[in-house]
Structure 1
Amino acid sequence: MINGEIISRIAFKALIMEVSAYPKPGLVDIVNSGSHTDMNYFTFVNSSVAISDYFRDAFNLGLKNYMKDDFDELRELGKACEKKMYAATNGVNTHKGIIFSLGLLVYATGIEYRKNNLSTDSVIDRVKLLAKGVTKELDKNLDTAGGRQYTKYGLKGVREEAEEGFEKARDIGLYSLKKYLKTSSINDAVVNTLMHFMEVLEDSNLIKRGGLLGLIYAKESAKISIELGLMNTDKGRRYIHSLNREFVKRNLSPGGSADYLILTLYLYFLEEL
């Protein structure tokens, strides 16, 4: 039997395993803070603890609202969760994006579990239904980071990913993670999966820090790491380690890829249940 406490634990586990994996170019990990001068590993641990109950509540809300096709009440829970996050991190944004994206996945999990139809595919399809039309909100919120990128580059960011049900977590994430776990440690499989996300995502965090040139550099670097064999070869491992130094120099951080890694780990642990 699945309940809110179990869901909260696997969501928390996904958060901790993502931030603990090393090396992750430009990102906070268990060894260094990457391109982030205002946060470190312990900032993320504090944040993860502070927001973990939100995922229990999001799941339970899904159980209650299984007949609804919106996530309006979830938004209110998310706003309260953001306040807890900022209180735990002294005002640093560690998990705002994941409160939205993982919150939606967990909410959808509750709905599908209540409908006795729980699977990775059903959760993704439910998110698509819940988030239908959410990109239209960008036209009303142009004075935000997402709105400015939409105006400048035409990119719809996490809202577009939500409308797609975060299906890349299944199609790229789960596929890669399961493949690498057959021959690699969990740490190396997680890092390898991150590089696959970096190769394909239009990562708004990279664009915010480095513009389109920063995004292109990150994608090309990830592609090279894959060609070198990632963490499964000495050349690939050395190259990924070297990327962290280069990403820090360029002030790049693939936060969108990190978020997708968390979504992937959540779906992986959910499948294990």
Structure 2
Amino acid sequence: MNAHVQPHLTQHCVLLAAFAVDALIAEVNLTPKPALVDQRGSGAHDDLTLALMQRSAHSLQPMFFKMAQAAFQYRTCSLALREAIGEIGRAGEAVMLQTTGGVNTHRGAIWALGLMVTAAALESLTRKSFSAIELCELAGKIAQFEDRFIPQQALISHGQQVQKTLGISGAKFQAQQGFPAIIHFGLPTLYKSRLAQGNETTARVDALLAMMTTLNDTCVLYRAGATGLKRMQQGAQRVLDVGGYSTVAGQHTFNVLEQDLLGLRASPGGVADLLAVTLFIDRVEQFYFKNK
């Protein structure tokens, strides 16, 4: 791999890495989120705090920079690029675990957001502007390559255990399909709620809820099984059905959903990862639209 990247592209790597970390920080600080870490507390988690999540997010900035750099070096969607960012991602995960004392704060986000940073870097080589759909499709194509260098004895995540036991498709499949939860639910709801309410917080909460209605969140499945997943999906839909989080009825229904998830100790961490990706895409779209 050619280690040289032109100076102006290096600055672009810095920008994309900053956007990715900003998205992670925005996600964890979004308040309220049902049973997730936010500014009120640790949700359904015993081992996570807001400060820990923030430190973890910042620790990943060099990793995102190197992924964007790899895209500029390889310049095409390929197995070689997939394996390069896989190696970078594993090193980034090690840094994350060292930062958090062994707590898995952002493993899913490393996968999903890493793919999106790489795709955004590739797209910027040939386009002055591009759509969310194009970005997600390219990220999906990168994800479809099978990394031959994944350690055979790699630690199996809770999500992977659920997938193996229940035959449920997880984060890998979501990425390989071009992130349909984001394209069909997260981003449309973010845009619609933002336009209707003019309130960024409620727009982001509604986007989170919209993805909760459809995603087979393996974090919830691991903690609460298929029954817990159904209650999450139906509860989120009820919030949206009464007008979303901006309404009094929506806030009341949201609180009911949160108490239910807290009782189950079920935290929708997979949806939280996708919200971070959604916020990254939104930021990238705005940047390229303004600078095309």
1:124 equivalent in alignment to 2:133: no
- Matching residue of 1:242: 256
CA distance, structure 2, for counterparts of residue 235 and residue 203 of structure 1:
25
Find the residue that maps to 1:106 and give its secondary structure.
helix
Find the residue that maps to 1:200 and give its secondary structure.
coil
- Matching residue of 2:34: 25
CA distance, structure 2, for counterparts of residue 135 and residue 166 of structure 1:
19
Find the residue that maps to 1:230 and give its secondary structure.
coil
Find the residue that maps to 1:3 and give its secondary structure.
helix
1:154 equivalent in alignment to 2:163: no
**More displaced 10-residue stretch of structure 1: 88-97 or 237-246:** 237-246
Aligned length: 272
Cα RMSD for the two superposed structures: 2.3
Q: CA deviation at 1:227?
A: 1.2
- 8 Å contact 2:220–2:269 — kept in the other structure? yes
Q: CA deviation at 1:244?
A: 2.3
CA distance, structure 1, for counterparts of residue 38 and residue 117 of structure 2:
24
- Matching residue of 1:186: 200
Q: CA deviation at 1:150?
A: 2.9
CA distance, structure 1, for counterparts of residue 23 and residue 47 of structure 2:
22
Could you list the runs of 5+ residues in structure 2 that have no partner in the other structure?
A: 1-7, 288-292
Equivalent positions of 1:186-265 (< 5 A) are: 186-265=200-279
Find the residue that maps to 2:213 and give its secondary structure.
helix
- Matching residue of 1:269: 283
Letter in 2 for 1:152: T
1:48 equivalent in alignment to 2:62: no
| The one of 178, 181, 185 aligned to 1:165 | 178
Letter in 1 for 2:104: N
- 8 Å contact 1:135–1:156 — kept in the other structure? no
| The one of 100, 103, 109 aligned to 1:89 | 100
Identity %: 27
The 1:50/1:136 distance shift into structure 2, 3 A limit, reads closer
- Matching residue of 1:80: 91
The C-alpha deviation readout for 1:20-67, integer Å capped at 9, x for no partner, is 111111100011110001111111111111112211211111111123
Structure 1 residue runs of 4+, over 6 Å off?
135-138, 140-143
Equivalent positions of 1:32-43 (< 5 A) are: 32-43=41-52
Find the residue that maps to 2:55 and give its secondary structure.
helix
**TM-score for the superposition, normalised by structure 1:** 0.92
Q: CA deviation at 1:220?
A: 1.0
- 8 Å contact 2:21–2:57 — kept in the other structure? yes
- 8 Å contact 2:89–2:111 — kept in the other structure? yes
Letter in 2 for 1:241: N
- Matching residue of 2:71: 62
- 8 Å contact 1:44–1:94 — kept in the other structure? yes
- 8 Å contact 1:69–1:130 — kept in the other structure? yes
**TM-score for the superposition, normalised by structure 2:** 0.86
The 1:142/1:86 distance shift into structure 2, 3 A limit, reads closer
| The one of 7, 12, 22 aligned to 1:13 | 22
Could you list the runs of 5+ residues in structure 1 that have no partner in the other structure?
A: none
Q: CA deviation at 1:116?
A: 3.0
- 8 Å contact 1:141–1:147 — kept in the other structure? no
The 1:271/1:222 distance shift into structure 2, 3 A limit, reads same
